[in-house]
Amino acid sequence: MPAVIENDTLVYKGSNLFRQRLLLSTLSGRAIRIVDIRNSHNNPGLKEFEVNLIRLMDKITNGSRVELNETGTSLYYQPGILIGGQVTHSCCPQRGIGYYLELLLALGPFCKEPLNAVLQGVTHHDLDVSVDKIKTAALPILLKFILVDDGLELKVVRRGAPPLGGGEVVFKCPVRRHLRPLQWTKWGLVKRIRGVVYALRVSPTMANRVVESAKGVMLKFLPDVYINTDQCRGSNAGKSPGFGVSLVAETNEKTFYCAEAKSLEAGSGETVLPEELGRQCALKLLDEIYRSGAVDSSFQWLLALWMALGQKDVSECVVGPLSDYTIKFLQHLKEFFGVMFKLEVMRKDDDEESDEEKAATAQTVKMTCVGIGYVNISKRTL
């Protein structure tokens, strides 16, 4: 539901898109109130992972004000100043580290001090993008806006599968006073495919079987395929058994598409064959390549955020079909910042492409907006 404005506070109903609203509230400085949080559920109110997210926000801001009623069904959030700096946070195992990491990636450039965050928990979760996908497909997008790679880093120290996790990552992000506008309308052709298969507390042969299956599919598409194995041992293997694969396709225009698949959670009573897992991930990557566009579909919303907050100039980017999450995010950008995007479905010229070429890609969308000229007033200047 769209927001209702009461005394300059945006009021929302329900728990959907909780992270989006918390993120944009912090960046815009606008207070939000969320009511009727899971009112009709047997266990009403905020979930443990949502409370955990608020704790993380409190660590990277100064002066935030949070009011929660006794049942947890009503939340008032008045954001403080983004300070960043050194942060260590234990993530709730109900969600993956990627759930929290995406938020830090969006906020990192606008902190007062360069962010140096240590996150502990589940590195690969069914509900969230993995740390591998963020590293290979999301960080290159941010580099387009900040240009210089002076301290942007994501290091996987230990991997951790659900339900117990045990993984750890270190994320470092430099700060910027403002983001540059972006014109990104070409994504090129896929030139190589790389990947990593991890095996945690299971037989190393599992990883090899996944590699062979995934390569069997990808080699029919492209000859330059290399998949590495990460057979973690001891404390580096986390606390629960599991295995999975992450594949990334790189184009000659520095666009990265990523797909991933993982084994079912230990104790669920179900199993998945390594061969099926490798094939499933390869087909997901082919689908992502088919969607085309300049960014991976999982990170369209991040692209939209940084375009909207850029300097007061026109930014444009061509993406694949918009995800539902991105559509909701664009609506929130309008409510918090007043930014509206022009969305233009790209029509294919009959004279320029053959029928085979038209069938090889989905219909793309050109996103255009004028940045609001967001300035990081906390960043220290010489």
For the stretch 260-309, pLDDT in tens is 999 988 777 678 899 999 999 999 999 999 999 999 999 999 999 999 99
pLDDT at residue 360 in the model: 60
Amino acid 1: pLDDT: 63
Q: Tell whether 262 and 347 lie within a shared domain.
A: no
What pLDDT sits at residue 351? Answer: 47
Q: What angle do helix axes 324-337 and 300-308 make, rounded to 10 degrees?
A: 20
* Per-residue pLDDT at 236: 82
Same domain, yes or no: 379 and 306: yes
Give every CB contact of residue 202 below 8 A, 6+ residues apart in sequence: 241, 242, 243
The pLDDT value given to residue 350: 47
**Averaged confidence pLDDT in the chain:** 91
Q: Quick one: CA torsion of 173, 176, 181, 182, rounded to 10 degrees? A: -20
Question: Residue 127, Cβ neighbours under 10 Å: how many?
Answer: 12
pLDDT over threshold 70, residue 379 = no
Structural element, H or E, at residue 48: helix 48-60
Tell which of 228, 259, 291 closes a domain. 291
Verify that 298 and 378 share a domain, yes or no.
yes
In a domain, 45, yes or no: no
* 324 found inside a domain: yes
Predicted pLDDT of residue 6: 81
Indicate whether 233 and 258 sit together in one domain: yes
Indicate if 270 and 303 belong to the same structural domain: no
- Tell whether 195 is covered by a domain: yes
User: Average pLDDT in the 362-377 region?
Assistant: 91
Q: Which helix (H) or strand (E) holds 124?
A: none
Mean pLDDT along residues 139-144: 94
Based on the domain organization, do 273 and 312 belong to the same domain? no
Span 175-216, pLDDT tens digits:
999 999 999 999 999 999 999 999 999 998 999 999 999 999
- Dihedral angle sign, alpha carbons of residues 20, 24, 27, 33: negative
Q: Within this chain, do residues 287 and 320 fall inside the same structural domain, yes or no?
A: no
As a whole number of angstroms, the distance between CA 309 and CA 95 comes to 28
How many Cβ atoms sit within 10 Å of the Cβ of residue 135?
Answer: 21
Residues of the chain above pLDDT 70, percent: 94
Q: Which of 37, 31, 36 is nearest to 10 (CA)?
A: 31
**Do 195 and 256 have their domain in common?**
yes
User: 373 lies in a domain?
Assistant: yes
- Going by DSSP bridges, is the β-strand pair 167-173/81-82 parallel, antiparallel, or unpaired? unpaired
Q: Is 69 part of any domain?
A: no
**Residue 330: domain span:** 178-185+294-382
Calpha distance 199→309 (Å, rounded)? 40
Structural domain contains residue 326: yes
In a shared domain, residues 222 and 245: yes
273, 291, 309 — which closes off a domain?
Answer: 291
We report the CATH number of the domain holding residue 337 as: 3.65.10.20
Specify the pTM.
0.93
Q: Is the peptide bond before 109 cis (omega within 30 degrees of 0)?
A: no
Structural domain total, the chain: 2
248: CATH: 3.30.360.20
Structural domain contains residue 319? yes
The pLDDT score that the predictor gives to residue 357 is 54
Q: Which pLDDT does position 4 carry in this prediction?
A: 79
Beta bridge partners of 4: 11
Most distant CA atoms of the chain, gap in Å? 64
User: Domain check: are 258 and 311 in the same one?
Assistant: no
Cα separation of 115 and 104, whole Å? 8
pLDDT tens-digit readout, 299-349: 999 999 999 999 999 999 999 999 999 999 999 999 999 999 999 998 765
Residues 353, 318, single domain; the answer is yes
Model confidence at 19: pLDDT above 50: yes
> pLDDT tens digits, residue range 76-105?
999 999 999 999 999 999 999 999 999 999
> Does residue 98 lie in a domain region?
no
How many whole angstroms from its chain centre is CA 100? 9
287 and 223 together in one domain? yes
Q: Say if CB 191 and CB 251 are below 8 A apart.
A: yes
Residue where one domain finishes, among candidates 261, 291, 321 = 291
